[in-house]
A and B are shown apart, each in its own frame.
Chain A
Amino acid sequence: MTTPTFETVAEIISETCELPREEISPQSHAIDDLGIDSLDFLDIVLAIDKKFGINIPLEAWTKEVNSGTAPAEQYFVMENLCARIDELVAAKG
Chain B
Amino acid sequence: MTTKNILVVCGTSVATSTVVKEALKEKLPERGLDIGTIAKAKATEAPGKVSSGNFDLIVTTTQLNQDKFDIPVIHTTAFMTGIGQDEVLDDIAAALED
Are A and B associated in one complex?
Answer: no
